[in-house]
Structure 1
């Protein structure tokens, strides 16, 4: 609910509390937000972050179920897997209609009622891509990201695509939670594991993103100098100073970077994406572009990610599952709108044409509607 979105910020000894971006408390007095802007840009930034959290909370396709009963849901799932055969339809209809927090309660109730692990039973009864999707939905968001990163770097070879997608798109708070959970789960340092599997400026930018220390707000005094530094590092230089791209794109806030991109366009005559494509290559290029796209619009970035996961022959099911699961409660409605705008077809129709069976039914349930 909107009333649960509360942000606390201490500025020069004064506690600033934002409630849904509507009112804030300044020095113990309740005021309309615009009256508190005298506390400076940081106060505005915090209000903006609070409002943004409120809006994002309502932009998912999956909402908490009303009249939720974890024990009753656990019983439904148990019956669906009991005896000969499995009622996949009952499983997908229930799981896709509950929030992740509710699914965690169902898991706990299932163990209390039946003395068994729900995910273990689901793995034993289901198979293929449908199993992968349902298990992903039953996993908490942070644990799911941690597992995805672990699978991307363990063993021979590295799945750089997963590293790029997760670390470029997650908020600083989410990255900090991922780093802590990774350490707890595997007794390994995520940064060390990633640096052991990567190299060069690609590695350096990943390490910067893992610090989760992006500046907040817009530093008006450094917009032009950042644009100049990027121009001198690339288009104006023989060769490329990759470190300047890495430092600026890895440390500035999304709001600040959008201003820098506008200034860069005026200065150079190029969009920053064009210059990155010309001046860099390989994994570094992919990561820089992902950071830029997420700074511009996270939903547009994921709309593009989904499109290319399904475009052409074959489907990148791992990416399709990962994005649909992780964005279903965050911003999938916005992703659908961007998908329609960018590719002149609906996400629903592309999923329908590219998948089949219970896997398709579950994905379409997460999609939540057709923007035809």
Structure 2
């Protein structure tokens, strides 16, 4: 768990008590206090603690908490709450599957997840993917993607090996042009401007993927700042991106992301969320962000 996360483990955690509160409040949703109780529990427990609540709920009531949330809640609030009860690996695996198997490949989602997770995290998400979908992540990338983008993504996934937990998937420097050399066969000197090289020699989703890799190398928080800003600017909200980043970074580096967001846009992340969301969905996101 990162020191720069906003969500920390509850010190006086009691999974059976939390399971009981959720059970009762999911059956009394006519009152605002019920929604507030659900938000308070989900936003103030670590991912590991939320999983304990999930198991406790089933042991006590013989029911699936995620299914009860899907039945009792609705909209983006429901989706956010249900996603928070998945392990990080399960949530990433689910997001990757949706990005690969939708009507259109969502390359930006694939790149975001695979470039910003550690080797150990990728190893775990691959295992979760295999268990949940009975197929390998590599196989689906191979079948759904094409060209340089497919090669790029497969290279990231293939580089993850047992005992390599400390290396991140984007652990290269600007002076290390190995990826570009292997994929494009470009003759790059150590001191060349890789950003300009990418812009001049590549196009489409692969160019975006390479640019994202450089941004992650330069500053992972700033990479997420840009994605969060784009998810909320203009008309409408990219809620999938907004909730995915808030949920997956809230125990890692969301404090750093908030600081960078304020410095970049002169307005807090919370203010942007307030202006772009509503209802219990807004309250849950803000409860996670503002801790």
TM more than 0.5 = yes
Deviation readout 1:187-240 (Å, 9 max, x if unpaired) = 2011111111111111100000111349988xxxx989846996xx7xxxxxxx
1:69 pairs with 2:10:
no
Higher RCO structure, 1 or 2 (CA under 8 Å, sep 6+): 2
Could you list the structure 1 runs, at least 4 aligned residues long, displaced by more than 4 angstroms after superposition: 213-217, 222-230
Alpha-carbon distance in structure 1 between the residues aligned to 2:100 and 2:22 = 33
- Check whether the contact 1:176–1:212 (CA below 8 A) recurs between aligned residues: no
Alpha-carbon distance in structure 2 between the residues aligned to 1:224 and 1:286 = 16
Deviation at 1:355, TM superposition (A): 0.9
- Check whether the contact 2:231–2:237 (CA below 8 A) recurs between aligned residues: yes
Residue matched to 2:145: 198
Deviation at 1:277, TM superposition (A): 2.6
Residue matched to 1:171: 118
- With over 3 angstroms needed to count, the CA separation of the structure-2 counterparts of 1:223 and 1:176, relative to structure 1, is closer
Equivalent of 1:243 in 173, 184, 200: 184
Q: What RMSD over aligned residues (CA atoms) do the two structures have, in Å?
A: 2.7
Residue matched to 1:58: 3
Alpha-carbon distance in structure 1 between the residues aligned to 2:179 and 2:44 = 49
Q: Which has the larger radius of gyration?
A: 1
Task: Identify unmatched segments of 5+ residues in structure 1.
Answer: 1-55, 234-240, 249-259
- Check whether the contact 1:100–1:138 (CA below 8 A) recurs between aligned residues: yes
Residue matched to 2:107: 160
Deviation at 1:276, TM superposition (A): 1.9
Higher strand share: 1
Residue matched to 1:135: 82
- With over 3 angstroms needed to count, the CA separation of the structure-2 counterparts of 1:153 and 1:73, relative to structure 1, is same
Equivalent of 1:357 in 255, 279, 282: 279
- With over 3 angstroms needed to count, the CA separation of the structure-2 counterparts of 1:243 and 1:99, relative to structure 1, is same
Deviation readout 1:98-129 (Å, 9 max, x if unpaired) = 10111011111111111101011000000000
- Check whether the contact 1:168–1:294 (CA below 8 A) recurs between aligned residues: yes
Residue matched to 1:148: 95
- With over 3 angstroms needed to count, the CA separation of the structure-2 counterparts of 1:297 and 1:229, relative to structure 1, is closer
Alpha-carbon distance in structure 2 between the residues aligned to 1:309 and 1:213 = 30
Number of equivalent positions: 282
- With over 3 angstroms needed to count, the CA separation of the structure-2 counterparts of 1:229 and 1:285, relative to structure 1, is closer
Alpha-carbon distance in structure 2 between the residues aligned to 1:243 and 1:346 = 40
- Check whether the contact 1:303–1:339 (CA below 8 A) recurs between aligned residues: yes
- With over 3 angstroms needed to count, the CA separation of the structure-2 counterparts of 1:99 and 1:224, relative to structure 1, is closer
1:280 pairs with 2:280:
no
Output the TM-score relative to the length of structure 2: 0.88
Structure 2 counterparts to residues 203-352 of structure 1, below 5 A: 203-213=150-160, 226=176, 242-244=183-185, 264=191, 268=192, 270=193, 272-352=194-274
- Check whether the contact 2:15–2:52 (CA below 8 A) recurs between aligned residues: yes
Deviation at 1:244, TM superposition (A): 4.3
Deviation readout 1:227-278 (Å, 9 max, x if unpaired) = 6996xx7xxxxxxx95247xx9xxxxxxxxxxx9xx63xxx4x4x3343233
Counterpart secondary structure, 1:351: helix
1:126 pairs with 2:73:
yes
Alpha-carbon distance in structure 2 between the residues aligned to 1:83 and 1:143 = 29
Residue matched to 1:183: 130
Deviation at 1:182, TM superposition (A): 1.2
